């Protein structure tokens, strides 16, 4: 990672810029801050977990309020979700996605409030949120769902599977179903197993009261690794955004950046 990871390089900007909604030609008010600089301001907050109001003006990214509003505008336009899907497609085309299995998990919830929050069952009932993640067999994030901290993991199993976007990149129909789904005992549910089989997905989920499936942990470690990568974006480690849409925008952007790093690494390895 570079010393200043919030700086957007030319290759990444070439992917993002066409996705951004244009400004009205006769928009009232002063000239808006350049989109690329504004994105770097958003990334500065995402990496450093500072308040929007404390974004240093001397960096030239505009005010925190400007970046905050631009984040909401871009999220409404679906910019970060489209970027994430584009990068997944490029990883798929490069054979860098492992569809043989997908892994699900949800670590301990993080504090603070806002939409989709509830009393944490592991932290004296403090209000908080929880991230539910599904990734491929190599740990590439497919989707993150934010819920209240008291939502059971098992209730999000099918939502996570069904939220995998259609991934293009190869000849034929886009793919969106892994061959198998791996989960710990928190995902033990016979109705969910039946629904997964209907989707032609093999459930590999340990049962409560029985020994863990042999070597399951060795295959599932990638989801914990991906959570570690996700929460290196310090703004996501503890939820500060009270608006769920803005929090989800930052999560989607972070997933796209993880995919971008993997794509660059794959390109370097092939060179």
The whole-model pTM stands at: 0.88
Which band of pLDDT confidence, cut at 50, 70 and 90, is reported for residue 129? confident
Query: Which of 7-21, 30-44, 51-65, 96-110: highest mean pLDDT?
Result: 7-21
Span 172-217, pLDDT tens digits: 999 999 999 998 888 999 999 999 999 999 999 988 876 666 667 7
Q: What is the DSSP string of the chain?
A: --SSTTSPPHHHHHHHGGGSPPPPTT-SSSPPPPHHHHHHHHHHHHHH---GGG--GGGTS--HHHHHHHHHHHHHTTHHHHHHHHHHHHHHHTT---TT-EEEE--S-EE--SSS-EE-TTTTT-EEEEEEEEEETT--EEEEEEEETTS-GGGGHHHHHHTSPPB-SSSSSPB---SEEEE-GGG--HHHHHHHHHTT-EEEEPPTTSPPPTTHHHHHHHHHHHHHHHTTSHHHHTT--SSHHHHHHHHHHHHHHHHHHHHHHHHHHH-
Span 32-49, pLDDT tens digits: 889 999 999 999 999 998
Is residue 30 over pLDDT 60?
yes
Q: What percentage of the chain has pLDDT greater than the value 70?
A: 87
């Amino acid at each position: 990672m570079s010393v200043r990871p919030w700086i957007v390089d030319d290759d990444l900007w070439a992917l993002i810029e066409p996705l951004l909604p244009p400004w009205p030609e006769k928009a009232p008010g002063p000239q808006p801050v350049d989109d690329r600089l504004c994105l770097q301001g958003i990334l500065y907050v995402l990496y450093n977990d500072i308040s929007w109001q404390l974004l240093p003006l001397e960096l030239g990214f505009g005010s925190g309020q400007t970046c905050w509003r631009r984040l909401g505008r871009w999220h409404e336009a679906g910019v970060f979700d489209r970027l994430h899907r584009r990068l997944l497609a490029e990883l798929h085309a490069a054979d860098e996605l492992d569809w043989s299995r997908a892994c699900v998990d949800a670590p301990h919830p993080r504090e603070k409030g806002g939409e989709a929050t509830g009393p944490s069952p592991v932290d004296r009932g403090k209000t908080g949120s929880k991230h539910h993640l599904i990734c491929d067999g190599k740990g590439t994030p497919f989707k993150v769902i934010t819920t209240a901290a008291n939502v059971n993991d098992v209730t999000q199993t099918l939502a996570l599977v069904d939220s995998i976007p259609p991934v293009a990149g190869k000849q034929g129909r886009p793919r969106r179903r892994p061959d198998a789904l791996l989960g710990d005992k928190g995902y033990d549910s016979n109705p969910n197993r039946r629904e997964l089989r209907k989707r032609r997905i093999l459930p590999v989920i340990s049962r409560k009261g029985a020994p863990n499936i042999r070597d399951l942990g060795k295959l599932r470690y990638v989801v914990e690794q991906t959570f570690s990568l996700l929460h290196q974006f310090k703004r996501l480690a503890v939820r500060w955004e009270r608006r769920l849409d803005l929090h989800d925008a930052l999560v989607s952007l972070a997933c796209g950046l993880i995919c971008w790093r993997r794509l660059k690494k794959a390109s370097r390895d092939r060179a």
